[in-house]
Amino acid sequence: MKCAVCSRKAKGFGYFNPRLPRSDPRRYSDRWVFCSMRCQNAFSRLMGKTGGHMIDPSDMELAAMASCLAPLGEYVGSIGMQRPLADYSKDEVLMLIDVVVTAYQEHMIVEHERMAEKDRAFLEERLARQGKPASTGVPF
């Protein structure tokens, strides 16, 4: 069995969901095993914060997901819109993944750069109002 956090070989550490009654078979799971106390504690903290559910994506992440639609549609259109996914070759599936991941990452990078520039402009304006010299071009 593999550690649920890092995928190394599990070594007897486990997790159970204390919110479920002892009689519930979902309380214990063989997929929640760990290689160390460190991985077990990390998983336990995550389960405690999220209750085992996916954390809702931020507005920025939702926008990045939406930005993947056009490149995805373009790629699928180029290889045949009517073909079911099960008929894609391994290379076609890998390219599809690459198209989506690249579009997502590019959107996130651009958005983070935009936010950093906005923050930089705000701080430079604030420094100018206080009579301090403007930025020397060195990142914060």
Say how many domains are in the chain: 2
Domain range spanning residue 82? 59-131
Residue 81 lies in a domain: yes
Q: Could you read off the pLDDT of 33-72 as tens digits, one per residue?
A: 888 888 888 887 877 776 666 667 889 999 999 999 999 9
Largest pairwise CA distance in the chain? 68
What is the C-alpha separation between 31 and 18, in angstroms, rounded?
16
Q: What is the pLDDT of residue 135?
A: 55
List the structure tokens of 25. Answer: 């078979």
Q: Which residues contact 28 (CB under 8 A, 6 or more apart)?
A: 14, 16
Q: What is the pLDDT of residue 18?
A: 67
Do 67 and 42 fall into the same domain? no
Residue 19 and residue 81 in one domain: no
pLDDT in tens, 111-137: 989 989 988 888 888 888 888 766 555
Beta-sheet strands, E only, within 35-131: none
